[in-house]
Structure 1
Amino acid sequence: MSKDAGFFNFSLAKILSDSQSILDQARIRLLYYGFYIIFVAAFGLFLSVYLQHLTLLTTTSGIVLICIAALFKYLTWAPRWRRVSHALLLMATLVNLSNVFIVIQKVDIITIQVILMVILFGYYMLGQRVGLLYSLINIIPVLVFYVLNYNESYFIALKPEQVDQSTIIISMFANFIIIIYIHSHFYSAFIKNIKQLKETGQEQAILNSKLEYAIEKAEKSSQIKSEFLATMSHEIRTPLNAIVGMSNVMIMANPRDDQRENLNVLKSSANNLQSIVNDVLDFNKIEAGKVMFENVKFNLVDLLQNMCAAQRLKAEEKGLKFALKIDPTLNNRVLFGDPTRLNQILFNLVSNAIKFTSTGSIYVKAFCYENQNSKVRVTFTVKDTGIGIDKSNLESIFEPFTQESITTTRQYGGTGMGLAIVKRLLALQGLHMHVSSKVGEGSEFSFNMEFAVSSSNINEIGENHPSLKNTEMLSNLNMLIAEDNPVNVLLMRKLLSRWKIKPTIADNGEHAIEIFKSGSFDIILMDLQMPVMNGFDAAIQIRKLPDMKKANVPIIALTAAALLDIEEQIFNAGMNDYVSKPFKPEELMEKIQNLVFAGAGQRVS
């Protein structure tokens, strides 16, 4: 029912609305104006039969007049055109059949006209099925009457009424006008609807074209963003590698206590910068769906203790109490999972807790709430007594580049990426973060994670890896280093000299191949972005060498790039492993030892 239409409404405008389709509006108009035509025709017939003193026809036409007035009022009050259409069709059917079987007792041209009107009106107003139904209800009884009348077997006691020629003329004239009106009205409506569909189709084509352009632009923008991140990563990581690397070299040189303090500050600042860069790049990987989760053996207790050892120092520097509690049932258990991503999740949560806590304590807990032989389910909890989070902001803090407020960002710093990364890493594993917080009292973050349990002994992990403290085994190792940045070359020389490795430097991929062919090397460190020939092409050429011994020499890629598929490109080029700049000395040493002495992960093209 229209909001504007009331019981005393007679306006068409108030029963039409923009929510109605063109055809529905046409149907309402047909009924509205059609009622005037029908009423005039019915009133003319009423006068004609009344003057002829035809009782049954007068009664019938009078009832029709009353019904038409009532239906018109109902339409202008509540424009339920389907109900009105059904009522009109039923009325026409009853009047037509009563005339054929009772009042006139014959089939004439008026009867045929009424049947045609019922068919047209039924199909146009109510559709194919309803139109067919009303058509059959009118046609079949009339055909039956024809047959009975033809066999002279139809008879009722009631004498048929006879109408004069003027009544027939009025009926025929009115019926033709109504038939023409129905056709004309719906023809106009259909033409208008076709034009609108054509216009809508054209508009849709324009919108599709704009959408395709927008998608293409978005894809290009995404590609440009990835390329920009890759370039910026390389440009930032290259000098950062020198800063972190030189800090490590100088710390390894047993500096004075005051020098060590300065170097630690320098290294800590560089690590913070590296953490920010890594957050942005990791988020880009996650958004692109390029994150792959490992399923390797690891010691959960060691992971938690090592992660918290570094964080404990940061907490104690702020005067905070730091507590780590691990469920005893997790001791001596070897689990399957992705320790790197788990460490990243917990590291971000603990870092956030320390950042936003000025006084009080940080509490980290790993509780085993389901312990079976084949699997364990662990609840990880990080709780603080920090500034807390307002209830209305609990969802927004997980959005990228978002913190609770501008004041929070200014006071505590940070990119707002940590929790966004945490949420998405958990979501990719089908997990959910639970948060409870009170402003001024602190926050608690927790999540559940399931791990498969290995049958291996805890002492077996790392058995096959040589000790990283044993650098003597690297003595006199011949290493070819393909690196064009002089600062990085200087760093590598200083670092490798402490491990007594003999380095040979090549400033591009082509030069590296020439030196490698004429020399004897145990391993190659290959920078990826170099002039003349890059590291990928150089590695591919080395793997194609006819000398199988040379062709299978281990190659470790040195990369400062951030392309999402960089790992795949490295391995496709035949390289064995890679380290990202800035790298940790112990990480590089472990990879060198694994490839040269343990023969782990070798790839042959």
Structure 2
Amino acid sequence: MSKDAGFFNFSLSNILSDEQSALDQARIRLLYYGFFILLVTVSGLFFSVYLQHLPLLSITSAITLGAIIVLYKYLTYRPDWRGVSHALLAIATLINLSNVFIIIQKVDIIAIQVILLAVLFSYYMLGQRWGLFYSLINIIPVLAFYVITYNQAYFISLKPEELDQSTVIISMFANFIIIIYIHSHFYSAFIKNIKELRQTSEDQAILNSKLELAIEKAEKSSQVKSEFLATMSHEIRTPLNAIVGMSNLMIMANPRPDQKENLNVLKSSANNLQSIVNDVLDFNKIEAGKVMFESIKFNLDDLLENLCTSQKAKAEAKGLNFTLKVDPMLKGRVLYGDPTRLNQVLFNLVSNAIKFTRQGNVYVKAFCYEDRNNKLRITFTVKDTGIGIDKDNLQSIFEPFTQESITTTRQYGGTGMGLAIVKRLLELQGLQMHVSSKLGEGSEFSFNMEFPVSEASINEIGENHPLLHNAGALSSLRVLIAEDNPVNVLLMKKLLSKWKIVPTIAENGEKAIETFKNGDFDIILMDLQMPVMNGFDAAMEIRKLPDAGKANVPIIALTAAALLDIEEQVLNAGMNDYVSKPFKPEQLMEKIQTLIFAGSNQIVA
């Protein structure tokens, strides 16, 4: 109801609103103007029957006139067109049937017209269900009256009243006007509605076209974003690879204590920068649905110990007490799962706990709450006594690039990506993060995860590859490095020299193929982005060589790129594995030895 429609309102505009449909507005207009026609008609009928001294018809006309005035006033006060329509139909039905059975005691042309009006009005105003209802309660009694009078079985003691010709003419004329008005009004409304629907359809088509363009633009934007991230990652990782690599080499060279401290600071800062880059790229992969979860054997106890050992040093450096509690039921159990992603989730939670705790404690707990059907259900909990989180911000902290407040970002640093990655990694596995926190008292993050249990022993999965203990055995390994960046070439030479390996260098993919054809090599370390010919094309050309021995040589991609499908591209190009720059020396060593050991059961000493 419009706010301007009061008890003394008589204006149509005050009872129409934009919230009403075009059809509902047409119904209200029909009632509003129809009441004027009814008012004039019934007034004329009242005076006509009154002057003819027909008491029953006079009373009926007066009651009808009063009802019309009341319903009109109700409509202008509260535009309840359904209620008004029901009231009008009920009054018309009662009057018509009382005329047929009591007052006039016959079915004349006026009664037929009233029935037609009731049928038309009920269907137009109230729809099919109510239209059928009012049609039947008007038609069936009249048909029954016909049958009764046909058998001459109808009789009441009341004498019927007779209308003169003038009254009949007035009634017929008024009924025809109302019938024409109803048809004309709704025909106009339906035509208008059809035009609006056509216009809406055209507008919808235009919107759909714009939406398609917007989707296409968004897809291109997403592709550009991915390419930009890949490019920026490559540009950042390339110098970062040199910084981390040189730091590792200098630390491996037994520096003085003061030098080692400086190198550790340098390495730690580089690792922090690498972590920020990895967070952004990891989130991009997660959003693109490119994350795949492994199901391999691992020792949960070892994973937690290794994770918390590195984090404990950071906590103790801040003066915090760090506690790890592992359920005894988990000791000695080998599980199937994705240790890398589990470690990533826990690492982010523990890092946050340490970061946002000034004093007090950080707890990490793994509790087995169910052991059944060779499956363990484990609750992981990370709790701190840090700054806490306001309850209004509990959901926003899981949004990417978001921290609880700008003050928090300035005071504690970070990108705000950690919890977003944690939440999405858990959701991709159908898991939920549970958070409880009190401002100024601390926070607790927990989640439940299910793991199938392996029958393998810890010793089986804990055994290192036998070659990893003897890097010196690789001294005679023939290594070809395809790399165009002079700094990376220098780094790789120095790194391999630690393992007594003297590599051969090719500055691009084309040169690498030529060098490989003319020499004998046990493995190729292939950069991907090089001038003249990139690493992908070079690897595919090598795989096409007629010499099977050369064509199947192990190839490890060394890449600073971060394309979402980089692993898929590397494997499709025929390469065996890849290492992302900057990499840990032991990581490269392990991959080299694994591939060499897989290709032959021994290494040339």
TM-score scaled by length of structure 1: 0.93
CA–CA distance in structure 1, aligned partners of residues 139 and 447 of structure 2 = 73
Q: Helix, strand or coil for the counterpart of 2:378?
A: strand
C-alpha distance in 2, partners of 1:119/1:438?
68
Specify the code of the residue in structure 1 equivalent to 2:422.
V
The CA deviation at 1:113 is: 2.2
- In 2, the alpha carbon distance for the partners of 1:201 and 1:249 equals 69
Identity across matched positions, percent: 80
What SS does the aligned partner of 1:365 have?
Answer: strand
Counterparts of 2:325 and 2:178, CA distance in 1: 89
Deviates further, 562-571 or 182-191: 182-191
Distance 1:467 1:448 in 2: 38
Give 2:540's aligned residue: 540
Question: Match for 1:339: what amino acid?
Answer: P
Q: 1:234 corresponds to which residue?
A: 234
TM-superposition CA deviations, 1:577-600 (whole Å, max 9, x none) = 111000111001111111111349
| 2:429 paired with 1:429 | yes
| Distance in 2 (alpha carbons) for counterparts of 1:44 and 1:112 | 20
> Following TM superposition, by how much is the alpha carbon of 1:302 offset from its aligned partner in structure 2, in angstroms?
1.2
Decide which moves more: 583-592 or 209-218: 209-218
Indicate how the Cα distance of structure 1 residues 371 and 118 shifts in structure 2: closer, same or farther if over 3 A, else same.
closer
Paired position in structure 2 for 1:106: 106
Partner of 2:138: 138
Q: Determine the C-alpha separation between the residues in 1 that align with 2:76 and 2:398.
A: 54
| Residue 223 (1) aligns with residue 212 (2) | no
Say if 2:182 is the partner of 1:182. Answer: yes
Match of 1:503 in 2: 503
Matched letter for residue 209 of structure 2: S
The answer for unaligned runs of 5 or more in structure 1 is 601-605
Deviation of residue 275 (structure 1)?
0.7
Structure 2 distance, partners of 1:262, 1:2, is 76
Q: How does 1:127-526 map to 2 (within 5 A)?
A: 127-146=127-146, 156-372=156-372, 374-463=374-463, 465-526=465-526
Secondary structure, aligned partner of 2:537: helix
Aligned CA distance change for structure 1 residues 485 and 76 (closer, same or farther; 3 Å) = same
Aligned length: 600
Amino acid paired to 1:352: N
Tell me which amino acid in the other structure corresponds to 2:437: S
AA paired with 2:42? Answer: A
> 1:8: Cα distance to partner?
4.5
Aligned residue type for 1:240: L
Structure 1 window deviating more from structure 2 (582-591 vs 248-257): it is 248-257
Shift of the 369–162 alpha-carbon distance from structure 1 to 2, 3 Å rule, reads closer
Deviation at 1:145, TM superposition (A): 4.4
Per-residue deviation, 1:467? 4.6
Report the alpha carbon displacement of residue 426 of structure 1 after superposing the two structures with TM: 1.7
CA distance in structure 2 between the aligned counterparts of 1:436 and 1:144, rounded to whole angstroms: 75
Partner residue, 1:119: 119
AA of the residue aligned to 1:327: D
Question: Structure 1 stretch 276-285 or stretch 210-219: which is displaced more?
Answer: 210-219
What is the CA–CA distance in structure 1 between the aligned matches of 2:69 and 2:528, rounded to whole Å?
89
- Distance in 1 (CA, whole Å) between partners of 2:564 and 2:388 is 35
Kindly tell me: are residues 111 and 307 of structure 1, through their superposed partners in 2, closer, same or farther at Cα, counting changes over 3 Å? same
In 2, are the aligned partners of 1:16 and 1:25 still within 8 Å (CA)? yes
Look up the SS of the partner of 2:469 in the other structure.
coil
Q: What is the CA–CA distance in structure 1 between the aligned matches of 2:444 and 2:592, rounded to whole Å?
A: 41
What secondary structure, in the 3-state scheme, does the structure 2 residue paired with 1:597 have? helix
Q: 2:68 corresponds to which residue?
A: 68
Q: Secondary structure of the equivalent of 1:387?
A: coil
Whether the aligned pair in 2 keeps the contact of 1:5 and 1:14 (CA below 8 Å) is yes
Question: Match of 2:368, SS?
Answer: strand
Quick one: distance in 2 between partners of 1:148 and 1:429?
A: 77
Give 3-state SS (helix, strand or coil) of 2:511's partner.
helix
Match of 2:97 in 1: 97
1:406 Cα deviation after fit: 1.9
Alpha carbons of 1:101 and 1:466: their partners in 2 closer, same or farther (altered >3 Å)? same
User: Offset of 1:401 from its aligned partner?
Assistant: 1.3
> CA offset at residue 518 of structure 1?
2.4
The C-alpha deviation readout for 1:98-154, integer Å capped at 9, x for no partner, is: 333433333333233222222221221112333233334334444454555566665
* In 2, Cα distance between equivalents of 1:413 and 1:467: 42
Q: Is structure 2 residue 527 aligned with structure 1 residue 527?
A: yes
**What is the alpha-carbon distance in structure 1 between the residues aligned to residue 371 and residue 141 of structure 2?**
80
Alpha-carbon contact 1:397-1:404 (below 8 Å) kept:
yes
Distance apart, 1:454 and its partner CA = 0.7
Separation (CA, whole Å) in 1 of partners of 2:320 and 2:178: 91
**CA apart distance, 1:566:** 0.9
Distance 1:66 1:423, change over 3 A: same
State the superposition RMSD in angstroms: 2.2
Q: Do the aligned partners of 1:464 and 1:598 also contact (CA within 8 Å) in 2?
A: no
Instruction: Tell me the alpha carbon deviations over residues 259-304 of structure 1, each in whole angstroms, 9 at most, x when there is no partner.
Output: 2222222111111111111011111111112111111111111111
Deviates more, 1:570-579 or 1:151-160: 151-160
Distance 1:127 1:560 in 2: 69
Q: Which amino acid aligns with 1:29?
A: R
1:34-66, CA deviations, whole angstroms, 9 ceiling, x for partnerless residues? 112112211211111121122332232222223
Using the size of structure 2 for normalisation, the TM-score is 0.93
Check whether the contact 1:373–1:453 (CA below 8 A) recurs between aligned residues: no
Instruction: Give the letter aligned to residue 543 of structure 2.
Output: R
Q: How many Å apart are 1:31 and its aligned residue?
A: 1.2
| Counterpart residue identity of residue 440, structure 2 | G
State the AA in 2 paired with 1:540: M
Q: Tell me the amino acid that sits aligned with residue 451 of structure 2.
A: F
Q: In structure 2, give the amino acid aligned to 1:294.
A: E
Does the CA-based 8 Å contact 1:465-1:598 persist in structure 2?
Answer: no
What residue number does 1:603 align with?
A: none
Alpha-carbon distance in 2 for matches of 1:327, 1:112: 89
What SS does the aligned partner of 2:451 have? strand
Q: Write out per-residue CA displacement over residues 509-545 of structure 1, whole angstroms, 9 at most, x where no aligned residue.
A: 2222222222222111111111122111222222222
Residue 494 of structure 1 and its aligned partner are, at CA, apart by 1.1
Give SS of 1:138's match.
helix
Give the secondary structure class of the aligned counterpart of 1:293.
coil
What does the per-residue CA deviation read over 1:547-568, in whole Å, with 9 as the maximum and x for residues that have no partner? Answer: 2222221111111111111111
Specify the SS of the correspondent of 1:480. strand
Distance 1:372 1:44, change over 3 A: closer
Distance across 2 between alignment mates of 1:96 and 1:360: 89
Moved more, 530-539 or 87-96: 87-96
What amino acid does structure 1 have at the position aligned with 2:262? N
Cα separation, 1, equivalents of 2:589 and 2:78: 84
Counterpart residue number, 1:87: 87
The residue type paired with residue 225 of structure 1 is K
**1:556 partner amino acid:** I
3-state SS of paired residue (1:49): helix
Q: CA deviation at 1:373?
A: 6.4
Q: Deviations over 1:318-353 (max 9, x none)?
A: 333333222222211111111111111111122222
Q: Distance in 1 between matches of 2:234 and 2:500?
A: 29
- For the pair 1:22 / 2:25, whether they are aligned, the reply is no
Note the alpha carbon deviations across 1:175-234, whole angstroms, 9 max, x for none: 122122212222222232223223323332333233222222222211111110000010
Matched residue SS, 2:487:
helix
